Amino acid sequence: MKKLNRKELQSRYKAWREEPILYSFDPTTTHHCANCDHDFTGNFCPYCGQKHDMGSVTWKSIWQEFLNVWGMGGRSMLYSLWQLLWRPGYFISDYINGRRQVSFPPVKMMFLVSLFYVLMKNYVLPEKVFNPTTTPKSGDILQPLFDFISWMDVHQDWGMLVSSIALILPTWFIFRESPRNTRHTIPQGFFIQVMMSTMSMLFSIVSDVVGPFILVTCVWGIVATKQLFGYGWWGTIWRCGLLLVSMIFFALTVTGLFNIAVSLISGDYSEFEEHIMVALVFGVFLFYTLLVAYCFNNNLRQKYGVWGSIWRIAVFMLLPPILLFLTIFLYEGFTEGWDEMFND
């Protein structure tokens, strides 16, 4: 047997990442379908879809049905998880673009991995479960956010799912002009985040067993994003950083809006102005973050020239502060009275 050198191994691995399965069949061999009694060529009956080698029930059939219950039969979950670890971006790209027969159903796979993760955290490694005790502090306008983070520490499986759902829209906006999977749709973004969440849970399981694995998880997340959207290393890294920043501003904006809703429902307006400022200020920061992504993704200089790009960016940058000023001005006018405000 010929020993492969390093370059040949890397070449084969790269080819496998991009095309892991090569379909082939013998067009000259005729099969008889046991389900619909038709003769056909190929691997599956064109009339009913049954596989050509499906025969009577045997002991192997019992074992196969048992494996199918846990996702280890046809379209094996283990094989899908293997691909999700070694070619994550290509695997996700294959699925969202229609190559679904080689993948275990992503949502079902995520829930099975989540179930295994919960069982392991509660029964195999119970001493590593983190149970923080949080006491709401009066006057802390970010307390709802801290409570949510504490809840995510305890329920990491659900926390990953919620975070993944929240990432659908920012990912769709920041990576919409990517070389690969250009302008992917929101439903495609849903399955992207489902598979990313599954991959994160796998690394969390490994981290609980062998120790902290967060750096590897972050690096592999960047690798998956690079394979999925086709940017270079630098283009992928700064967009992932922008995605993280946008999520922080989004969380702070939602916290402000949540506090506003609580104040309106409870009738406690003692910190109402602070809640409005938090929502508005971090909403503006979120807008600027997405504006950076828009400018880079759309190559404004090539489309509109230097001056055309400058004035468009200036309008976009000045619009949020103007709206913020008008909002504060109107709020002060309605709450304190216009005459009193102008006299002061």
Q: What is the pLDDT of residues 330-341, one digit of tens each?
A: 666 555 555 554
**161: pLDDT strictly greater than 60:** yes
Let me know whether 215 and 229 are in one domain: yes
265 and 154 within one domain: yes
Whether the per-residue pLDDT at 134 is higher than 80: the answer is no
pLDDT digit string (tens) for 165-194? 888 888 988 898 889 998 889 999 999 999
Q: Is residue 277 a contact partner of residue 292, using CB atoms and an 8 Å limit?
A: no
Q: Flag whether pLDDT at 135 surpasses 60.
A: no
More confident residue, 127 or 283: 283
How far is Cα 199 from Cα 196, in angstroms, rounded to an integer? Answer: 5
Is residue 31 included in any domain, yes or no? Answer: no
- pLDDT tens per residue, range 283-319: 888 887 887 777 777 766 666 666 666 666 677 667 7
The 3-state DSSP composition of the chain as helix, strand, coil percent (nearest 5) reads 70, 0, 30
pLDDT > 60? residue 139: no
Residues 305 and 177 both lie in one domain: no
Top-ranked range on mean pLDDT: pick from 136-145, 265-274, 294-303:
265-274
Same domain, 150 and 236: yes
Same domain as 249, residue 120 = yes
Residue 105, number of CB atoms within 10 A of its CB: 16
Provide the phi-psi class of 183: left if phi over 0, else alpha when psi is between -120 and 50, else beta: left
pLDDT recorded at residue 131: 46
Whether 92 is covered by a domain: the verdict is: no
Rounded-to-integer distance, Cα 201 and Cα 91, Å: 17
pLDDT exceeds cutoff 60 at 74: no
Domain co-membership, 144 together with 281: yes
pLDDT level of residue 138 (50, 70, 90 thresholds): very low
Same domain, 305 and 239: no
Domain-embedded: residue 263? yes
The H or E element that residue 135 is part of is none
Q: Note the pLDDT of residue 130.
A: 44
85 by Cβ neighbours in 10 Å (0-12 / 13-18 / 19+) ranks as: middle
**What pLDDT sits at residue 58?**
73
| Residues 124 and 225 both lie in one domain | yes
**Res. 45 pLDDT band, cuts 50 70 90:** confident
Question: Total domain count for the chain?
Answer: 2
Domain of 327? 299-344
Q: 208-235, pLDDT tens digit by residue?
A: 666 666 777 888 889 999 999 989 999 8
Token digits for 59? 């002991």
Question: Between the ranges 64-73, 82-91, 317-326, where is the mean pLDDT highest?
Answer: 82-91
Query: What is the predicted pLDDT for the residue at 118?
Result: 77
End-of-domain residue from the set 279, 298, 317 = 298
Whether residues 233 and 344 share a domain: the answer is: no
Among 280, 298, 316, identify where a domain stops.
298
293, 308: one domain:
no
**pLDDT for position 279:** 80
Q: Are residues 253 and 164 in the same domain?
A: yes
**Whole-number average pLDDT of the chain:** 75
Q: Is the confidence at residue 137, as pLDDT, over 60?
A: no
Domain membership flag for residue 2: no
Select the more confidently predicted residue: 241 or 275: 241
Does 22 fall in a domain?
Answer: no
CB-based burial of residue 150 (10 Å sphere; 0-12 exposed, 13-18 middle, 19+ buried)? middle
Q: Return the pLDDT at 229.
A: 93
Residue 18 lies in a domain: no
Q: What pLDDT, on the 0 to 100 scale, is given for residue 224? A: 92
Question: What was the pLDDT predicted at 10?
Answer: 67
- The reported pLDDT for the residue numbered 151 is 66
In-domain check, residue 272 = yes
To the question of pTM greater than 0.75 for the whole model, the response is no
Same domain (yes/no): 251, 309: no
Indicate whether 47 belongs to any domain: no
C-alpha span between 259 and 251 (Å, rounded): 12
